[in-house]
């Protein structure tokens, strides 16, 4: 018989490396427990139990018994029984998956309260107050009934799907009847009446009384947390954040401690450094006399954590000591949640905190300076995605717009868009191409799809740890929160600012997540300092250099030293080539020549296609030759000393001809008028002749070189002549000629023989030696599968992963995104488009086979990649693993590819033999 799976771990049994099983929260609670920090006792039910429950729809066998054993241990540690009528132990039931999903899943607090134990809780709270020196039975009564009403509310909503607003309405009604807007003005009697009202709501929606048995409450709450893994908003969040769908969540059952026992109690959240800038200091929010979620939900306005020093110096000092200890232990920025119960500090959570992209770079280098981590680790702590975020523009100064107010700078960046006041409108308008800013009093998880659709988020309530702030930072989205001067009226679809300024739905506003400023109107944006640094306009060594620029420079330099792969750029013009070089490109991996045949040069292509004699064709080619030569001279000059891969013409020829419908109409009209032009008629015939049902699988790439006499020859001649000219002028062109869309070695051999003959001819004539390589793209499955043969004729391979993805999956790269990808993503067939991140299993396998077999034939075969994946962080790691020599991507993505190639190298250091 298989041994019984262990589903429940006491906090003392876990550690921070057990996140797969215990989730992030459980693993870190265990770690803090073992560090001897004041964590309320509790236990964690594993994500394996969740998966088993979700698979079968039932509690896995053995789980109930294990929970019973751990509950008994918890009861004996606390000296109380769950839900005991005289002195009840209460517990919280909290979700906690491997990756943090803020606010996405469920929590139920105060489990164990019922009609009996609420009295016991009131008595104990009163007694506790007495020993604390200030007996206030009325406050104790109030506390107990408030806790009970919170349980019914959370349990009703989370476990039994009772609509949350019903409870909210009842609460609002009670406050109105009392003539107050503040929960704290409701006394014990009001709250007792509210409990009755809540129970009625509960029965109406569930058809049963609110469960009184404490263990039943506990079991139902645990199952609800399991089920919340598959809640719609959690599924959406995972897709957005690329968190695997099959991890499941762990559940933490923790002895309750209370922050709402009076003014000497409270609850808060804090960061060990500023998550927006990385600066050291004390960053957090505190709310006196409040319980758990009140801070995160942004329902009441918090005070800065520094105020705690005045309110409760002992707890404040202890908290600062713990924060320093945690930073040192985790060697990173941590965020924490804590509660103070009558002057006793309790740690409810910690984790390595989310941070903005800028803070990630700054903190990583600070930690190096503090001797906590080395530069390899600093490189590991930042990502290409973060670097890309830093390259976004920011707001410029001096714009003619009205500063409405300032809120908190919760998540940086600059966002401009039309104000919308609900998620539905945000999604709808953004689908029709509008840029929107989602404006809310505060956000909650139901706003998630609106937050995803919006350029930025603006709230009037809540601190830097409110839902809006945490989620926006996680998404890398601009957010200003807690702009208290704004009166947001979501029903009326408007907000009113200071001085009565009204902004209605559809009005353009601009928000600056770095300063917290909110403007009416559109603020122009300026480039990021990181881009200016890459452009060479900012000197990172300067005295007054921006700390972010210094940090980026330091980490990039280390990455460049560490990486094995080179990074090149896809560039077709001298300007692009120069920019790419400034961004650190070590060559051009793909110079597409097709744009060189557009504009006024189209006429020569038309002539080439229409030519019905060798003479006419040669004339057309002769007209194109000097133009092409000029193109290449410019590019070779910009890339002097670095390899430049020029690809011969790739797209179907008809792309250079007029549109078939337009031309047909023009000819028909002309004919009707008796004015038909001979040339137009011939053109129309040619367009018909060249028309293809599947042009991407038709006459393009090397096939053109074979069937259009002289075309590739002209391009090769232009390339070699340009290189010869550069050499004569003292330049150092490094020429690589690349043949696209090769399927079979025979195609390559034919084109190569001709190219070599022409190169030889030009060099003889010009009297200079032009070294060059001839290689091919690998962008068709047959080419990948016969790479061993193709390598006989190729000195390099460059993987064209755009076409290789298209042809491996059989997906038209031009059509699928609109046609059906959203359905595929929704159904989880893939988590991200294979045109964006390389499909390692399929396309990646072909890349691996071709690399291995190509190198088996020709050990010094140069290997690169020039599809879009060359600038995609995840794909870069794959190309490193496969052993490619370089990746090539658009100039703007070159820094990202450099960083990720460096990260890939340090991550595989030791196991990497190349
Ligand atoms: C490719 O197919 O990956 C490629 C780089 O070529 P293109 O995108 O021009 O087809
Ligand atoms: Mg291609």
Q: In what order do the strands lie in the sheet with 487-489?
A: 487-489, 494-496, 502-504
Q: Choose among 90, 87, 45, 35: nearest CA to 68.
A: 45
The protein residue with its alpha carbon nearest to ligand 1, atom 8, reads 802
Q: State which of 781, 806, 866 you would mutate to test the pocket of ligand 1, scoring each by most atoms of that ligand within 8 A of its C-beta.
A: 866
d(CA 253, CA 93): 5
d(CA 895, CA 585): 8
The protein residue with its alpha carbon nearest to ligand 1, atom 4, reads 800
* Fold match flag (266-355 vs 392-526): no
d(CA 851, CA 53): 44
d(CA 525, CA 577): 25
Q: Which ligand 1 atom is at minimum distance from the Cα of 801? A: 3
Output b/e per residue, 740-774; b: 16+ Cβ within 10 A: bbbbebebbebbbebbeebbeebbeebeeebebeb
Q: State which of 648, 779, 889 you would mutate to test the pocket of ligand 1, scoring each by most atoms of that ligand within 8 A of its C-beta.
A: 779
d(CA 640, CA 190): 81
d(CA 836, CA 874): 10
Rounded mean pLDDT for each run of 10 residues along the chain, 914 residues in total: 80 94 96 97 97 92 95 95 95 91 80 97 80 66 93 94 92 92 88 97 96 97 93 80 85 94 90 84 88 64 90 96 94 94 95 90 94 96 92 72 87 90 94 94 84 94 75 78 92 93 95 89 85 92 92 98 97 91 96 85 86 90 95 96 97 83 88 83 87 89 94 97 98 98 98 98 96 98 98 98 96 76 77 89 98 98 96 96 96 94 89 39
Question: Which DSSP symbol is given to 273?
Answer: E
Q: Which ligand 1 atom is at minimum distance from the Cα of 592? A: 9
User: Ligand 1 centroid vs 594 CA: distance in angstroms?
Assistant: 12
Q: State which of 800, 836, 847, 850 you would mutate to test the pocket of ligand 1, scoring each by most atoms of that ligand within 8 A of its C-beta.
A: 800
For residue 572, give the ligand nearest its CA: 1
Cβ-proximal residues to 869 (8 Å cutoff; 6+ apart), any chain: 801, 836, 837, 838, 875, 879
Instruction: Please state, in angstroms and as integers, the Cα–Cα distance from residue 644 to each residue in 573, 596, 641, 778, following that order.
Output: 12, 16, 9, 18
The protein residue with its alpha carbon nearest to ligand 1, atom 6, reads 800
pLDDT at position 817 is 62
d(CA 898, CA 893): 9
pLDDT at position 243 is 81
The protein residue with its alpha carbon nearest to ligand 1, atom 10, reads 803
pLDDT at position 302 is 83
Q: Choose among 714, 643, 697: nearest CA to 810.
A: 697
Question: In sequence order, what are the beta bridge partners of 420?
Answer: 438
For residue 798, give the ligand nearest its CA: 1
User: Ligand 2 centroid vs 866 CA: distance in angstroms?
Assistant: 9
Q: Which ligand 1 atom is at minimum distance from the Cα of 868? A: 3
User: Ligand 2 centroid vs 743 CA: distance in angstroms?
Assistant: 12
d(CA 624, CA 121): 90
CATH C-level class of 72-255: mainly alpha
CATH architecture of 266-355: 2-Layer Sandwich (3.30)
Residues with CB under 6 A from ligand 1: 590, 592, 650, 779, 800-803, 866-867
Write down the domain spans for the chain: 72-255, 266-355, 392-526, 563-652+692-913, 656-691
pLDDT at position 300 is 67
412 sits in the region (left: phi over 0; alpha: psi -120 to 50; else beta) called beta
Instruction: Please state, in angstroms and as integers, the Cα–Cα distance from residue 268 to each residue in 258, 304, 319, following that order.
Output: 12, 10, 11
DSSP letters for 841-889? TTHHHHHHHHHHHHHHH-TT-EEEE-SGGGG-HHHHHHHHHHT-SEEEE
What tokens were used for 898? 């450099």
Q: State which of 702, 743, 777 you would mutate to test the pocket of ligand 1, scoring each by most atoms of that ligand within 8 A of its C-beta.
A: 777
Q: Which ligand 1 atom is at minimum distance from the Cα of 594? A: 9
User: Ligand 1 centroid vs 779 CA: distance in angstroms?
Assistant: 8
Cβ-proximal residues to 909 (8 Å cutoff; 6+ apart), any chain: 376, 562
Question: In sequence order, what are the beta bridge partners of 298?
Answer: none
Phi first, then psi, for residue 134 (nearest 5°) are: -145, 70
Tell the burial category of 546 from Cβ atoms under 10 Å away from its Cβ (0-12, 13-18, 19+): middle
Report how many helices (DSSP H) and strands (DSSP E) the chain contains, helices first.
36, 33
Q: Please answer whether residues 121 and 113 qualify as being in contact, where contact means their C-beta atoms are separated by less than 8 angstroms.
A: yes
Q: Choose among 199, 210, 244, 221: nearest CA to 97.
A: 244
d(CA 368, CA 217): 48
What does R_g of the chain's alpha carbons equal in angstroms?
33
Q: Please answer whether residues 448 and 237 qualify as being in contact, where contact means their C-beta atoms are separated by less than 8 angstroms.
A: yes
Residues designated catalytic = 467, 866
pLDDT at position 474 is 61
Q: Which ligand 1 atom is at minimum distance from the Cα of 570? A: 5
Q: Which ligand 1 atom is at minimum distance from the Cα of 800? A: 3
d(CA 376, CA 703): 47
User: Ligand 2 centroid vs 536 CA: distance in angstroms?
Assistant: 32
To the nearest 10°, the Cα dihedral for 164, 166, 171, 174?
180
For residue 805, give the ligand nearest its CA: 1
For residue 835, give the ligand nearest its CA: 1
d(CA 837, CA 594): 25
pLDDT at position 477 is 84
DSSP letters for 28-51? HHHHHHHTT-----EEEE-HHHHH
The CATH number of 392-526 is 3.50.30.10
pLDDT at position 1 is 41
E strands present in 712-760: 734-739
User: Ligand 2 centroid vs 733 CA: distance in angstroms?
Assistant: 25
What tokens were used for 197? 């009202």
Q: Which ligand 1 atom is at minimum distance from the Cα of 803? A: 2
The protein residue with its alpha carbon nearest to ligand 1, atom 1, reads 800
Q: State which of 570, 647, 803 you would mutate to test the pocket of ligand 1, scoring each by most atoms of that ligand within 8 A of its C-beta.
A: 803
Q: Please answer whether residues 204 and 198 qualify as being in contact, where contact means their C-beta atoms are separated by less than 8 angstroms.
A: no
Q: Choose among 480, 485, 456: nearest CA to 469.
A: 480
pLDDT at position 912 is 40
Give the N- to C-terminal CA distance of the chain in Å, as an integer: 47
Count of other CB atoms within 10 angstroms of residue 397: 8
Per residue, what are the HEC states of 47-113? HHHHHHHHHHCCCCCCHHHHHHHHHHHHHHHHCCEECCCCCEECEEEEEEECCCCCCCCCEEEEECC
For residue 866, give the ligand nearest its CA: 1
User: Ligand 1 centroid vs 853 CA: distance in angstroms?
Assistant: 22
Tell the burial category of 17 from Cβ atoms under 10 Å away from its Cβ (0-12, 13-18, 19+): exposed
d(CA 809, CA 566): 28
User: Ligand 2 centroid vs 239 CA: distance in angstroms?
Assistant: 29
Model pTM score: 0.79
pLDDT at position 131 is 52
Q: Choose among 639, 645, 644, 689: nearest CA to 663.
A: 689
Coil, helix or strand at residue 773 = strand
CATH architecture of 563-652+692-913: Alpha-Beta Barrel (3.20)
Instruction: Please state, in angstroms and as integers, the Cα–Cα distance from residue 434 to each residue in 402, 414, 418, 508, following that order.
Output: 22, 16, 8, 11
User: Ligand 2 centroid vs 801 CA: distance in angstroms?
Assistant: 7
């Amino acid at each position: 018989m298989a041994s019984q799976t262990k589903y429940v771990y006491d906090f003392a049994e876990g550690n921070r490396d057990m996140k797969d099983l215990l989730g992030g929260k459980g693993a870190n609670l265990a770690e803090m427990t073992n560090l001897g920090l004041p964590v309320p006792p509790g236990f964690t039910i594993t994500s394996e139990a969740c998966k088993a429950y979700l698979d079968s729809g039932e509690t896995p066998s053995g789980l109930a018994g294990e929970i019973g054993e751990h509950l008994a241990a918890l009861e004996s540690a606390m000296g109380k029984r769950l839900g005991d009528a005289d002195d009840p132990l209460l517990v919280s039931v909290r979700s906690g998956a491997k990756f943090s999903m803020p606010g996405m899943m469920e929590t139920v607090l105060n489990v164990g309260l019922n009609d009996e134990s609420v009295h016991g809780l009131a008595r104990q709270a009163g007694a506790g107050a007495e020993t604390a020196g200030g007996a206030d039975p009325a406050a104790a009564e109030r506390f107990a009934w408030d806790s009970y009403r919170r349980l019914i509310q959370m349990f009703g909503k989370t476990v039994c799907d009772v609509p949350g607003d019903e409870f909210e309405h009842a609460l609002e009604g009670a406050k109105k009847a009392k003539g107050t807007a503040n929960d704290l003005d409701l006394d014990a009697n009001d709250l007792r009446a509210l409990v009755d009202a809540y129970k009625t709501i509960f029965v109406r929606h569930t058809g049963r009384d609110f469960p009184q048995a404490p263990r039943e409450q506990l079991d139902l709450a645990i199952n609800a947390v399991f089920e919340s893994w598959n809640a719609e908003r959690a599924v959406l969040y995972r897709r957005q954040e690329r968190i695997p769908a099959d991890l499941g969540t762990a559940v933490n059952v923790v002895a309750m401690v209370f922050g709402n026992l009076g003014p000497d109690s409270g609850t808060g959240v804090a960061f060990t450094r500023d998550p927006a800038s990385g600066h050291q200091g004390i960053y957090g929010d505190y709310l006196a006399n409040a319980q758990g979620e009140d801070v995160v939900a942004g329902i009441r306005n918090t005070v800065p954590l520094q105020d705690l020093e005045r309110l409760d110096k002992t707890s404040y000092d202890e908290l600062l000591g713990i924060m320093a200890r945690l930073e040192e232990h985790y060697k990173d920025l941590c965020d924490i949640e804590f509660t103070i119960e009558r002057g006793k500090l309790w740690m409810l959570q910690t984790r390595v905190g989310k941070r903005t992209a800028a803070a990630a770079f700054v903190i990583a280098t600070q930690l190096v300076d503090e001797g906590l981590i080395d530069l390899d680790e600093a490189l590991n702590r930042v990502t290409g995605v973060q670097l890309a975020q830093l390259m976004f523009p920011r707001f410029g100064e001096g714009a003619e717009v009205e500063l409405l107010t300032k809120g908190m700078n919760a998540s940086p960046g600059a966002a401009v868009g039309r104000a919308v006041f609900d998620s539905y409108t945000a999604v709808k308008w953004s689908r029709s191409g509008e840029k929107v800013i989602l404006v809310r009093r505060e956000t909650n998880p139901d706003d998630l799809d609106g937050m995803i659709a919006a350029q930025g988020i603006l709230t009037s309530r809540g601190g830097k740890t409110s839902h809006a702030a945490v989620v926006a930072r996680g998404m890398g989205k601009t957010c200003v929160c807690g702009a208290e001067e704004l009166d947001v009226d979501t029903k009326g679809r408007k907000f009113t600012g200071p001085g009565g300024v009204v902004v209605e739905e559809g009005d353009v506003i601009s928000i600056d997540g770095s300063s917290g400023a909110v403007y009416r109107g559109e603020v122009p944006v300026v480039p990021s300092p990181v881009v200016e640094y890459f452009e060479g306009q900012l000197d990172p060594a300067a005295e007054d250099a921006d700390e972010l620029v210094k940090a980026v420079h330091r980490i990039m330099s280390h990455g460049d030293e560490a990486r094995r792969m080179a990074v090149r750029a896809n560039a077709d013009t001298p300007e692009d080539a120069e920019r790419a070089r400034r961004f650190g490109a070590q060559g051009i991996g793909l110079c597409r020549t097709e744009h060189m045949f557009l504009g006024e040069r189209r006429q020569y292509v038309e002539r080439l296609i229409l030519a019905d004699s060798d003479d006419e064709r040669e004339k057309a080619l002769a007209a194109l030759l000097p133009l092409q030569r000029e193109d290449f001279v410019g590019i070779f000059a910009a890339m002097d000393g670095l390899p430049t891969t020029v690809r011969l013409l790739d797209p179907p020829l008809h792309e250079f001809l007029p549109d078939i419908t337009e031309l047909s109409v023009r000819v028909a009209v002309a004919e009707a008028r008796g004015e038909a032009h001979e040339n137009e008629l011939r053109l129309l015939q040619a367009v018909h002749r060249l028309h293809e049902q599947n042009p991407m699988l038709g006459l393009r790439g090397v096939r053109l070189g074979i069937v259009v006499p002289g075309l590739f020859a002209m391009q090769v001649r232009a390339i070699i002549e340009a290189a010869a000219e550069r050499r004569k002028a003292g330049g150092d062109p490094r020429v690589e000629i690349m043949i696209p869309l090769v399927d079979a070695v025979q195609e390559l051999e034919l084109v190569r023989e001709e190219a070599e003959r022409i190169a030889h001819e030009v060099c003889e004539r010009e009297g200079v030696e032009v070294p060059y390589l001839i290689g091919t793209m690998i962008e068709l499955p047959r080419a990948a599968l016969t790479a061993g043969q193709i390598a006989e004729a190729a000195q390099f391979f460059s993987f064209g992963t755009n076409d290789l993805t298209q042809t491996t999956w059989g997906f038209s790269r031009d059509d699928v995104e609109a046609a059906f990808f959203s359905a595929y993503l929704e159904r989880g067939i893939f988590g991200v488009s294979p045109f964006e991140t390389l499909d390692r299993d399929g396309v990646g396998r072909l890349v691996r086979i071709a690399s291995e077999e190509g190198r088996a034939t020709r050990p010094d075969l140069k290997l690169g990649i020039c599809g879009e994946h060359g600038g995609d962080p995840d794909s870069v790691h794959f190309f490193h693993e496969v052993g490619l020599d370089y990746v090539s991507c658009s100039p703007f993505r070159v820094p990202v590819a450099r960083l990720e190639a460096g990260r890939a190298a340090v991550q595989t250091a030791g196991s990497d033999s190349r």
